[in-house]
Structure 1
Amino acid sequence: MTDGSLSHPGLYVLGSALRQNRSDQGMSLRELARTTGIGPSTLSSWEQGERRIPEVPLGWILGVLKVAPAESRLLIRLHTESDRMSHVESLDSEVTSLQRAYDRYTLRTFEWAPRIVPESLQTFDYAHAVLGPHTATPDDVDQEVLTRQARQLDRDPQHRHILLLGASALTLENVPPDVLRTQLDEITNPDPRWRVDTRVVPAEARAASTIEPFAIYETAEKAFTIVVKHEHATIYLSDPAMVKHYWSTFNALQREAVAYLPVGSR
Structure 2
Amino acid sequence: MTKVKPCLPALLALSASLRGARTAEGLGLRRLAHKLGVSAQALSLWETGKRAPAIEDVAHVLGFLRVSPAEYSRVMRLRRQLEEPISIETLDAGSASQRRTLEELAVRTFEWAPYVVPEPFQTPEYIQATAQDAAGPDDLDQAIFEHQVRQLDQGWTADRTVLVGAAALAPAIEPQLQALRAAAHLPGLAIKIVPRTVAKTIEAFTIYEGLGNVLTVALRHQDNIIFVSEPDAVQGYRSTFKALERGSVTCADFRSP
1:236 to 188, 204, 227: 227
SS in 2 for 1:14: helix
CA displacement 1:149-169 (0-9 Å, x = unmatched): 4475265x5343221122223
**Structure 1 range deviating more: 21-30 or 6-15:** 21-30
Aligned positions, number: 247
Q: Which amino acid aligns with 2:180?
A: L
* Paired residue secondary structure (1:215): strand
List gaps (5 residues or longer) in structure 2: none
Whichever residue aligns with residue 177 of structure 1, its letter is E
Tell me how far apart the structure 2 counterparts of residues 262 and 62 of structure 1 sit (CA, whole Å).
Answer: 56
Q: Distance in 2 between matches of 1:89 and 1:24?
A: 23
Do the aligned partners of 1:188 and 1:260 also contact (CA within 8 Å) in 2? yes
1:111, distance to aligned residue in structure 2 (A): 1.0
- Partner SS state of residue 251, structure 1: helix
CA contact (8 A) 2:105 2:210 kept: yes
Q: Which residue does the alignment assign to 1:166? A: 165
Q: Under a length normalisation based on structure 1, what TM-score does the superposition of the two structures give?
A: 0.67
Q: Structure 1 residues 158 and 234, CA, compared in 2 at 3 Å: closer, same or farther?
A: closer
Q: Give yes or no for contact 2:220–2:226 (8 Å, CA) kept in 1.
A: yes
Which residue of 2 is the match for residue 128 of structure 1?
127
In the other structure, the counterpart of 1:184 is 180
Shift of residue 33 of structure 1? 4.2
Query: How far did 1:80 drift?
Result: 4.7
Take 1:181 and 1:16, find their aligned partners in 2: how far apart are those partners? 37
Q: Are 1:250 and 2:246 an aligned pair?
A: no
1:52 partner letter: P
Distance 1:219 1:32, change over 3 A: farther
Tell me how far apart the structure 2 counterparts of residues 151 and 72 of structure 1 sit (CA, whole Å): 30
Structural mapping, 1:88-237, within 5 Å: 88-89=88-89, 95-96=92-93, 98=97, 100-102=99-101, 104-107=103-106, 108-119=108-119, 121-123=120-122, 125=124, 128-129=127-128, 131-133=130-132, 139=139, 142=142, 146=146, 149-150=149-150, 152-153=152-153, 158-169=157-168, 171-172=169-170, 174-175=171-172, 177-178=174-175, 180-190=176-186, 192=187, 195-205=188-198, 208-220=199-211, 222-231=213-222, 233-237=224-228
CA-to-partner distance for each residue in 1:89-121, whole Å, 9 max, x for gaps? 566xxx3385643454431321111222223x2
**Could you say which residue in structure 2 is the equivalent of 1:59?**
62
Structure 1 residue 214, shift from structure 2 partner: 0.9
Q: CA deviation at 1:25?
A: 11
Q: Deviations over 1:188-215 (max 9, x none)?
A: 123x4xx43222223343xx21211111
The CA deviation string for residues 21-44 of structure 1, in whole angstroms up to 9 with x for no partner, is: 989999986566457654232123
Cα distance change of structure 1 residues 260 and 82 upon mapping to structure 2, 3 Å threshold: same
Helix, strand or coil for the counterpart of 2:251?
Answer: coil
User: Does structure 1 retain, via aligned residues, the 8 Å contact 2:192–2:250?
Assistant: yes
1:252 aligned partner, one-letter code: A
Instruction: Note the C-alpha offset of 1:262.
Output: 6.6
Per-residue CA deviations over 1:57-76 (Å, capped at 9, x if unaligned) read 55369889xxxx99998666
Match of 1:200, as an amino acid?
I
CA contact (8 A) 1:6 1:223 kept: no
Question: Please, what TM-score do these two structures have when normalized by structure 2?
Answer: 0.68
Deviation of residue 230 (structure 1)?
3.2
Mark the CA change 1:144 to 1:256 in structure 2 (over 3 Å): closer, same or farther.
same
Distance 2:166 2:103 in 1: 28
Q: CA deviation at 1:248?
A: 1.4
**Gap runs ≥5 in structure 1:** none
Query: How far apart are 1:139 and its partner, in Å?
Result: 4.5
